[in-house]
Every structure is written in structure tokens, then in C-alpha cells.
Amino acid sequence: MDGTQTLACLTALALSLAGCAPKPALVVGSKNFTEQVLLAEILAQHIERRLHIPVGRKFNLGGTLLAHTALTSGAIDLYPEYSGTALTAVLKLPPSKDPAAVMALVGAAYRRQWRLAWLRPLGFNNTFAMMVRGDIARRTGIRSLSQAARAQAWKLGAGYEFKQRPDGLAGLLAAYGLRTDGDPVTMDLGLLYAALKSHKVDLIAGNSTDGLAAVLDVAMLEDDRRYFPPYQCAVVAREDTLARLPGLREAIEELSGKFPDAVMRKLNFGVDGEHRPPAEVASRFLDSTSRAAANP
């Protein structure tokens, strides 16, 4: 058999094997940062274990509006979202400080406009968190954003979406009178802590459940004027998918309340700090929760 025939046979075999792969019963999506990918993988594995159906994965879709469009178009069936993000970035409504009211409002609006269901919260509130290097906090005694506003002009770093959001950079600067040293530097979320450590910036817009925030020498500044709305995380799913797959809602809601802030930070650190694959971190988490359920 010559090289051309060998290549043809291998191509045919690959196509044949691909054709044997089971078609996903549903597709889980995510935005493009660690926590989202990890939660989506946990959801996908949990659904596979509980319902014994093939689950597709479309992770790293981009920002909020891209993930939301994928859901409403049917390209994905569910993904994890944050209540405050849905309120301000998707529904274009003003921020609210009441977590229960925000969840009720977004749940009703999503159901009415797109036939999407918000399931019970997963257990953590991933609010934006403004952070400085630990040496700055120790030297200046700064503990809050109000103190930071009075102290100096800041070299500020933020993710691309934070700069555009109605509950993001512009409103934050106005609410506190924060001054910036030059234009804020925008970058991928995964680069923020490295930029802070290397002194490229000295104030970053991170998240309260970032794994690296728990282990690096950074100080999280208090949002003492309560600028940021609540960002409770929950799964948003297409109602037609929930109706089509009996037991899906119940399977997903078995994870409700299983992710307090400290647990989410630890899981995120497993990926960002220990450099383990999200699939491995997800599998270990589900194994541990199964053992805990079996031995209460």
C-alpha cells in the first residue's frame, strides 16, 4: 500500500470513528475565564453522571453578550451567569443592592423575553473586587475604595468587559472620585495579577472568588459605598431543554448551595494556581461531594 492509499484509509477510519460519536443531548457553554469554564465543566460532568446522556461543551465563548446570544439562539442549552451582570449588562436596568430582588427581577424578565429559566443559586456572590498589592496596603493603611480615592492617582488595570459595562469602570470612578494615572490598561482577566505583581499597574478590577487572590500578596479593598450590585451565580437554561430532558432541572439544582465563596476560590486556584486541567478539578470536586453525600 503506497502513502496515498495509507492516508486515504486513515482519513476514512477517522471519519468513521467520528460518525460513531454520540450526538450530545444538550450543550453546556461558558464565558472566557477560569471560573466560568470550571463551573461549566462541573455542570457537564454532573449531568453526564446523573442522567447518563452525552453532553457537549462550548466553552470560552467570549463575554456576557456572546454567551447570552449563544443561549437564546440555541447554540448552547445552559451556562452559569451572575444576577448583577444579567441586570445591568443584558437587561440594561439600573443596579440594585437587594440580592433577592435582583434574582427575582432577572428571573421574570428572562422568562418573559426569551423563555429562559434561572435555577437556584450555586452559593456564591462573585462581585467585582478592586485590589492593590499588599505592600501598598501595608505602607499606606488603605483598606477601602474611599481611602484609595483620597490617596493618589492609580495605574489601573481591568478586563475588557469591565471597561464597557454600565456597572463597571466609568461608574466606579464617578462613584468614588477615583483618579487614574493615565488611561486604564485593559487586558485579559488572566493577566491582571501578573500585571499587578510586575508593577505594570497598582490597582486592578478582579473578582472576589479569584483563586489567586487567596494566595498572592494582594489586598481587597472594601466597596464601602456599595457601588457594585450583587452577583449571585446561577445556571440559566433554555426552558425547552428543561422540558425535553426529564430530571435535568433536578440534577442541576443538586449543585445549588454547594459553592460558598471559599470553595469557589479554592476550585479556581486549582486551575490558576496549581495549573490543573479544569476537567480534573471538576471531577475531584464531584467525587468529594458524592462521598460527602454518602457519608453525612
What is the residue extent of each domain of the chain? 25-125+231-294, 128-220
Predicted confidence at residue 215, as pLDDT, reads 84
User: How many CB atoms sit inside 10 A of residue 105's CB?
Assistant: 17
- Confirm or reject CATH 3.40.190.120 for domain 128-220, answering yes or no: yes
**β-pairing verdict for 153-154 and 179-180:** parallel
Please report the pLDDT score of residue 166 as a whole number: 80
Radius of gyration of the chain (CA): 21
The pLDDT value given to residue 294: 67
- Cβ-contact 227, 30 below 8 angstroms: no
What pTM was computed for the model? Answer: 0.79
- Cα–Cα separations (whole angstroms), residue 19 to 12, 26, 192: 11, 18, 42
C-alpha 121/C-alpha 140 separation (Å) is: 38
- C-alpha of 267 from chain center: 12
Yes or no: say if 255 and 46 are a contact pair by the CB < 8 Å rule: yes
- Out of 2.60.120.260, 3.90.1200.10, 3.40.190.10, 3.30.365.10, select the CATH number for domain 25-125+231-294: 3.40.190.10
Would you say the CATH fold of 128-220 matches that of 25-125+231-294? Answer: yes
Do the Cβ atoms of 31 and 64 come closer than 8 Å? yes
pLDDT on residue 175: 94
* Dist CA 282 CA 35 (whole Å): 11
- CA-to-CA distance for 29 and 59, rounded, in angstroms? 5
Query: What is the reported pLDDT for 289?
Result: 87
Q: Residue 137: what pLDDT?
A: 94
Each residue's pLDDT expressed in tens, for the chain with a length of 296 residues: 444 454 444 444 444 444 556 789 999 999 998 999 999 999 999 999 999 999 999 999 988 999 999 999 999 999 999 999 999 999 999 888 899 999 999 999 999 999 999 999 999 998 889 999 999 999 999 999 999 999 999 999 998 888 888 888 999 999 999 999 999 999 887 789 999 999 999 999 998 898 888 788 999 999 999 898 899 999 999 999 999 999 999 999 999 999 999 899 999 999 988 999 999 999 999 999 887 766 66
